[in-house]
Amino acid sequence: MNRQITRRDFMNGAAMVIGAAMLPTAPAFGVANPGEPQNGPGYDPPVKTGLRGSHPGSFEIAHSLRDGTFWESAGKPVESGETFDLVIVGGGISGLAAAYFFREKTGKSARILILENHDDFGGHAKRNEFHLGGRRQLLNGGTLLIDSPTPYSPVADGLLKKLGIDPPQFEARYTDHKLYRSLGLDSAVFFDKETFGEDRLVVGAPGRGWDDEEPESQAGRALTWTNFMNKTPLSPEVRRDIVRIQQAKVDYMPGLSSAEKKARLSKISYRDFLLKVVKADPGVIPFYQRRTEGEWGVGIDAEPALDCWALGFPGFQGMGLEPGAAPHMSYSAAGYATGGSYRFHFPDGNASIARLLVRALIPEAVPGHTAEDVVTAQVDYSRLDREDASLRLRLNSTVVGARNVGTPSAAQEVEVLYATGKQLCKVRAKGCVLACWNMMIPYLCPELPQAQKQALHYLVKVPLVYTSVGIRNWTSFQKLGIQRVSSPGSYWSEVSLNAAVNMGEYRSPTSPEEPILLHLSRAPCQPGLAAREQHKIGRYELLTTTFETFERKIRDQLARTLSSGGFDPARDIEAITVNRWPHGYGYEYNPLFDPDWPEDKRPNVIGRKPFGRITIANTDSAATAYTDTAIDQAYRAVNELLPG
Ligand SMILES: Cc1cc2nc3c(=O)[nH]c(=O)nc-3n(C[C@H](O)[C@H](O)[C@H](O)COP(=O)(O)OP(=O)(O)OC[C@H]3O[C@@H](n4cnc5c(N)ncnc54)[C@H](O)[C@@H]3O)c2cc1C
């Protein structure tokens, strides 16, 4: 563990506060930023390692705008003279879909500019690309898969079809659900000594395997909960109560109807349900605490028991709850309780959707013709922002202002100001779609009505970190018989081998002797507080954690989990990409903390109201965190600009 870390990335977020102070006031370039980084040779953000996601350089301008320091030193904007039919703020799925829909309605000659503050397009739908042992390996840096609590709408499904994506067919053809099972690999739980008194890996956890097609792991099927518990370092009382929670068919609310039970369960946390209703030993909590983090970014202290029931958590099997959604369930739980959407996972997650959208908008930037060949296509970033093109995608550009020219009701034009880190530029357009994060919008449009600004601030995004780790081989996983480890007390709550998907020319590793990518995840939060407070504290944690600390946590946890299989972090880790998302999932209303507003009083509905020639897209405006809603909201925002 003490051997030197050689891949350390010194450009961590805390050290890299460039901010507005570094913006020169003099105009450096003329029209169209010929010096923009994306036009440089070898520009290829997906292959970058170190701190990615909201990477250093992407957020400092926005933060100085928030802190009120930006305009002090911003200088005079360069009047680029560029005019567009539409400027879109944000190059995520919602912004790219907005460009697609706008062009569909107005024709290919429509002049559109997309401005994105990161060095890559896609927003959360980001690609991590590694070349290990001479072979390309892909993983999602953020948005994982096509999957939603509700079926994709005709608009969202229609867009996927136009891009050549057929999720059910792709799932059947390209996802290899059998590989890890054929090698005898199972799910496991790692109990850490800080939380459970000793480090112990228990293989073959009963319950779901790594994908839903294989509902139970191989050993998990053979293992009863009692046998599994007997292998853990938990006390006899705690083991007994976990078995009871998992298996006992008890109605803890006798005499109440299913609807009455659901109403009560929506108002208590799963933690309180276990402690106060099931009356379990408090020692069960560390075993369950983090189970909800992947879905909602907070633990079971801040998630309603009813939502946990909808996601298949134990304890409810004897309660006679009728299937289906109930009032007061959170968005995702309510949807999943009625079946959810189809599912498919590209090798780089939904980054492939972003790449297909860019191909549809700027074909020369993304060679190829099919959803299969986009997986290995090499994007030519220098083609994204060409002076002669009608559609332009400008990276590394943070929008700092969007203003209707004239009164909002009479405006025919919008002025948009953006900063590139080198200069402040002004462009004009007939309309503007803000497909960026809601909480940023009041700073871009200070003239918005106060109630709308307040509503936009309400939705606090959920912080998350997804880390991709390239390792020399996975023989340690084979020796231990594991492919996915949940670690209820550790820094990373989950470690798994990359899912095997073979698509186009892309092939996932099949032999444990080959290099592979691991996916590690963490949702920083502060149990005991309201969900939105936990998200704010988690965001601060993410922004102040250095790459060196992330790397230490990776090495420590992998060593403790895998060393009995022969894993040596200093020898076996080849590359690390930490995808830090301080502003991750869009916030979903939580019945424990949020009022039960009527539809028209919800902050997302008030917040997304059009303002003159400015309209608002992004998942925040639906108070959800899914790709289909990013697309649906783009469609709405475009139609508000182009009615009829
Ligand atoms: C780790 C993670 C995993 C996820 N997994 C899934 C999943 O499996 N399935 C799923 O459906 N959804 C998932 N999501 C949800 C995801 O947010 C949506 O699916 C979707 O990608 C959101 O798209 P968007 O365009 O609305 O927002 P974003 O992807 O956030 O895009 C908005 C873009 O606007 C940019 N921006 C913000 N302010 C400015 C500014 N002032 N100037 C310029 N640009 C700006 C942002 O930097 C960002 O790039 C996940 C999210 C995260 C964080």
Residue 73: the pLDDT is 85
Instruction: Determine how many CB atoms are found less than 10 A away from the CB of residue 382.
Output: 14
- pLDDT, one tens digit per residue, over 82-91 is 999 999 999 9
Given a cut of 90, whether residue 393 has pLDDT beyond it is yes
Residue nearest to atom 14 of ligand 1 (CA): 143
- pLDDT, one tens digit per residue, over 244-280 is 999 999 999 999 999 999 999 999 999 999 999 999 9
- pLDDT, one tens digit per residue, over 30-49 is 334 557 899 999 999 999 99
Residue nearest to atom 26 of ligand 1 (CA): 618
Short-list 521, 506, 517, CA closest to 477: 517
Q: Find out whether 633 and 621 touch, Cβ atoms under 8 Å.
A: yes
Measured from the CB, is residue 436 less than 6 Å from ligand 1? yes
Residue nearest to atom 2 of ligand 1 (CA): 142
Residue nearest to atom 53 of ligand 1 (CA): 584
Given a cut of 80, whether residue 3 has pLDDT beyond it is no
Q: Find out whether 615 and 408 touch, Cβ atoms under 8 Å.
A: no
Measured from the CB, is residue 89 less than 6 Å from ligand 1? yes
* Residue 117 CA: distances (Å) to CA of 121, 423, 519: 9, 13, 25
Q: What is the distance in A from the centroid of ligand 1 to the CA of 191?
A: 33
- pLDDT, one tens digit per residue, over 270-281 is 999 999 999 999
Q: What is the distance in A from the centroid of ligand 1 to the CA of 125?
A: 6
DSSP 8-class letter at 375: G
Measured from the CB, is residue 415 less than 6 Å from ligand 1? no
- Four-point Cα dihedral 266, 271, 277, 278, nearest 10: 130
Closest ligand 1 atom to Cα of 583: 53
> Which amino acid is residue 576, in one-letter code?
I
Which of 124, 140, 618 to mutate to test ligand 1, by most ligand atoms within 8 A of the CB atom?
124
**22 band by pLDDT with thresholds 50, 70 and 90:** very low
Q: What is the distance in A from the centroid of ligand 1 to the CA of 221?
A: 37
Residue nearest to atom 20 of ligand 1 (CA): 627
Cα 231 from Cα 224, distance rounded (Å): 11
Measured from the CB, is residue 124 less than 6 Å from ligand 1? yes
Given a cut of 90, whether residue 210 has pLDDT beyond it is no
Measured from the CB, is residue 170 less than 6 Å from ligand 1? no
Residue 643: the pLDDT is 79
**25 band by pLDDT with thresholds 50, 70 and 90:** very low
- pLDDT, one tens digit per residue, over 495-505 is 999 999 999 99
Given a cut of 70, whether residue 1 has pLDDT beyond it is no
Percent of the chain whose pLDDT exceeds 90: 88
Closest ligand 1 atom to Cα of 579: 1
> Which amino acid is residue 187, in one-letter code?
S
Q: What is the distance in A from the centroid of ligand 1 to the CA of 267?
A: 30
Phi-psi bin for 339: left (phi > 0), alpha (psi -120 to 50), beta?
Answer: left
Residue 430: the pLDDT is 98
- pLDDT, one tens digit per residue, over 305-357 is 999 999 999 999 999 999 999 998 999 999 999 999 999 999 999 999 999 99
Instruction: Determine how many CB atoms are found less than 10 A away from the CB of residue 291.
Output: 19
Residue nearest to atom 45 of ligand 1 (CA): 90
Residue 34: the pLDDT is 55
* Distance, C-alpha 204 to centroid of its chain: 28
